[in-house]
Structure 1
């Protein structure tokens, strides 16, 4: 399958993003076929190229999850000549993306106003903690802050427990919102001929994911953390089994599934118990219902019980750990998990794209994780037309470094 047939083939992105949320957004674009030119430097490489002890990772494997497929060039943006080269890359691109704190791109001379001078129909994305404007726009932040400040952390966790810290789910959710916004702007440019600027705040993304709770609060109600409960289904939760640290997820949607579950449980009279006779009754008596299921499962195997419940039409599955995910033949066959390689590390797993296209089967990771500056022959040589002697001079003066 030719790369020319990929959905975003022909789209070029100047990628100034760093860390997780921003790089993940451009990573998704690259999986869909966009040519993403990652701009960094030896003095300020992307943080994910480095070991991340804070996440328990002593190698840079995280970089695979946000940068495979991308091209890499080195530009020391503290040097005016490097800024000029970055502008030349933008001039040949359809979009630019960055995820610095507000004001950084302006101080570098690479803000939207400056870049429009070299690319009048540019689509530019700025992804930050709290946006480019507003009283809190100066705050920096990482994924836990996005969820905490946006309210999603408060609504996550058990009702009788503290809020739960939201980590990569916030980075990736913000990244996906950025992808949708950027593609929408590119589509509009195709119709109108005009580019535009996208200001996306990860904190706003978190708030957008708790719309029902915000509506309740606006009506004077006090939303509480739901834990694993559902407002319409009961039982609906994650239950311990006889296996150590092995949990079974069960969700019952209607009376038919409830009767099927009771048939497997085998508790006399449970189907006719007035506490559980209807969906409303089960919701009102969910604590008693959870106790019934907990006692039933305490001596049972999670996998075998899940299969038994699935055979009766009840939604159930063990909560898988990471090794089970990595070994899953279903995900591997679909390409949701794929191997990536680079010269420094042996082949290892990375996350592919969840989408499958009937005409474009090469969507996903198609090339190895880039070494810093590995694509400069193409970008500086072929695209910008910089000769070897000039490049050597730029390197000697640490413009390219």
Structure 2
């Protein structure tokens, strides 16, 4: 038996029929799997998940990203263009708690796997549909990828420097949408346990982007014109990212009050400046440009890691903006299983992101098994769960129902 459910994990006993593809939807089900849910990923040889493939545009010549959204999952093959495969998918859904999909609206219904059809198989089903613009509304037919979510939702416009262009979001939008979807799905599960009712969760990634800029939308509704804030903060200064003596070694700084400002100035600038413009938070914000220029000059000759140590000891919020080598080599992250090693047949071990949450009274959560090969769990899913014999499965493979 291949089931991965842990008896005391937060989502122990929950099973997901996972039809999601690419990043946002798979990240949602990946989060749920890390919390203990058994997640069965449904693909086919002719239509595997895009993240199984190298992606030269992203500079990824091996399928490393697949580890970040599919470790823990079980894998089966179903050719959903075939009616018998659709029937098997419905049987699998009938044994599941959640069905998750991230196709363009209407695709699942055309396959015979829409919410109404699946609810007939599983009357208390929780179904998640994650798409660009949602299942309803005049724009629901639009598809999109991560940069479009942020651009369309307004987050891209609000990201970047005031005097520069919008900075469009990439994977952060996929993962933000996936996180929102996971939260909504858990809420729907909770409601089902209270009421026994089915629930269709309709999440639009574009709306997730808009939810992140509520303050700017409020300004716009009041007749103001929001501007891109760059690295500034409305009540803190200095607040930003500054170059240091080492090439591409940047220091991130947030000064919260006048005491921290005086401490910072003594450590970095030698003595607190006598200029009254910077004595109070209001003055520093009013003269932010001059302040940033002065702080930039102070830090340009300093060793980033050394100065961070001094500032942290004195209670000033500062840290080097770590590159990926810094993060990958961090013992703190590894000690908390926030970084774990994963592998797959024919692929060397490599790092994947674990769960950033830990639970004091449950079994360990996080990545519990390697990334699955396509179809590697069919003995368990088709054999044990669905009760298909070896002869039946061979016949289905021969007729490309299982493909």
Q: 1:87-236, aligned counterparts within 5 Å?
A: 87-236=90-239
The 3-state SS of whatever aligns with 2:200 is strand
Deviations 1:62-109 (A, max 9, x none): 000000000000000000000000000000000100000011001100
Deviations 1:223-258 (A, max 9, x none): 000000000100000000110111111110011101
TM-aligned CA deviation for residue 266 of structure 1: 3.4
Deviations 1:266-293 (A, max 9, x none): 35551x4211111111100111110111
Q: Distance in 2 between matches of 1:17 and 1:332?
A: 29
* Partner residue, 2:301: 299
Following TM superposition, the consecutive aligned residue runs of length 4 or more in structure 1 with deviations greater than 3 angstroms are: 266-269
- Tell me, yes or no, if structure 1 residue 368 matches structure 2 residue 370: yes
* Partner residue, 1:397: 399
TM-score, normalisation: structure 2: 0.98
Q: Distance in 2 between matches of 1:130 and 1:167?
A: 17
Q: Distance in 1 between matches of 2:123 and 2:311?
A: 59
Q: Distance in 1 between matches of 2:277 and 2:181?
A: 46
TM-aligned CA deviation for residue 348 of structure 1: 0.7
Inter-CA distance 392–259: structure 2 relative to 1 (3 Å threshold): same
CA contact (8 A) 1:11 1:94 kept: yes
Pairing partner for 1:237 from 240, 245, 260: 240
* Partner residue, 1:342: 344
Aligned length: 400
Q: Distance in 1 between matches of 2:379 and 2:352?
A: 27
Tell me how large the CA RMSD over aligned residues is: 1.1
Q: Distance in 2 between matches of 1:138 and 1:371?
A: 32
The 3-state SS of whatever aligns with 1:249 is strand
CA contact (8 A) 1:186 1:195 kept: no
The 3-state SS of whatever aligns with 1:24 is helix
Q: Distance in 2 between matches of 1:277 and 1:239?
A: 21
TM-aligned CA deviation for residue 360 of structure 1: 2.7
CA contact (8 A) 2:161 2:230 kept: yes
CA contact (8 A) 2:5 2:37 kept: no
Q: Distance in 1 between matches of 2:326 and 2:272?
A: 37
TM-score, normalisation: structure 1: 0.98
TM-aligned CA deviation for residue 329 of structure 1: 0.5
5+ residue gaps, structure 2:
none
The 3-state SS of whatever aligns with 1:4 is coil
* Partner residue, 2:331: 329
Q: Distance in 1 between matches of 2:258 and 2:42?
A: 57
CA contact (8 A) 1:155 1:224 kept: yes
Residues 3-12 or 304-313, more deviating = 304-313
Q: Distance in 1 between matches of 2:269 and 2:73?
A: 56
TM-aligned CA deviation for residue 361 of structure 1: 4.5
Deviations 1:195-236 (A, max 9, x none): 111110000000000000000000000000000000010000
The 3-state SS of whatever aligns with 1:5 is coil
Q: Distance in 2 between matches of 1:72 and 1:58?
A: 23
* Partner residue, 1:5: 8
Deviations 1:145-203 (A, max 9, x none): 00000000000001111000101110000000000100000000000011111110000
- Tell me, yes or no, if structure 1 residue 255 matches structure 2 residue 243: no
Pairing partner for 2:317 from 315, 318, 341: 315
- Tell me, yes or no, if structure 1 residue 76 matches structure 2 residue 76: no
The 3-state SS of whatever aligns with 1:275 is helix
Q: Distance in 2 between matches of 1:400 and 1:269?
A: 72
5+ residue gaps, structure 1:
none
Q: Distance in 1 between matches of 2:258 and 2:249?
A: 27
Residues 302-311 or 107-116, more deviating = 302-311
